[in-house]
Amino acid sequence: MSLDLRKLNIEYDHTFPSNLDWSPDGAAIAVGFENGVLQLLSPEGQSIWRKPEAHDNMVRRVRFSPDGSRLATASVDKHVRIWSVEDGEMLADFEGADPIISVAWSNDGTKLLWDGPECCALVKDCESGETLWETTKHYEHATVNAWGPNDILATGSFDTFIHLMDYGKKEYLYSLSSYSKEITALCPLKRDTFFLASGDITGRVMLHDIESGMEIMDNQSHKDRINDIDSSHDGRAIATASTDTTVRLYSTEMAQEILSLPYFQKEVCSVAFSPDGNLLAVASVYNGINTWEVGPWIPEPIGF
């Protein structure tokens, strides 16, 4: 099988893409930049719209709503903003007390989860900005979060713990304590049951069955910080982006690495699968935005 997988390459001068996400219908890729710019691209690389002053500082997270009609962005400028995908109009602007690193949509698209003060994450109404719930507190700042199936929330922290909570019941479930360093990335697998992929500052990547708490995979192929994790729509694969300049692909069913993309020249910031799982969008400091054909490398389903 050919290793010439790259389908698109867009380079930028004087800035770099810090985070990206692929729309649920596959028609667009949203990109946040180190200088606060927000851009919507077609999968072929054409600009659909661009917001030069979307934020006053680095965009740390870009996420499409479940129905694909809105974008949520989180920034070091302490703001979470919601945008219309159709025309780029800003629909809502919420200000926090500290730089905001991570944001996630609820499954019904009516709420947002982002890192707040006091070492917890906040569930917010996406129209009013009202705080609906504060998650279980960590011992140190909450750095990443995820909203999984059945309204199970996950938060990771400098304190090395991952907390699991049931938003429907407003209760703490348990914590994963497998790591010894800061948690830097979380990603729920898109299955009926909740499998959680996670990564830390050392490059360690783990996969857990959240219903049982069982560890499914523990991998240390990366040599430095995990910046981002994404899963294919069917949950058969996860991809990781790292400061060590590599992108790695894993089979969740085989619980092992299946592909390492060619070395990038500098830090890789973000990864996002296309809805059909065939393409992977990659954002990196030096190489800009690439898309790679990875679908043929993902093994056929065998079932857990």
Domain spans of the chain, in order of start: 6-297
Give yes or no for a contact between 21 and 272, defined as CB atoms under 8 angstroms apart.
yes
pLDDT tens digits along 34-83: 999 999 999 999 999 999 999 999 999 999 999 999 999 999 999 999 99
How far, in Å, CA of 140 to CA of 119, rounded?
5
Instruction: Provide the mean pLDDT of the chain.
Output: 94
- Better pLDDT: 44 or 193: 44
Say whether pLDDT at 304 is over 50.
no
Q: Mean of the pLDDT values across residues 279-304?
A: 89
Please say whether the dihedral angle defined by the alpha carbons of residues 130, 136, 138 and 142, taken in this order, is positive or negative: negative
**CATH code given to domain 6-297:** 2.130.10.10
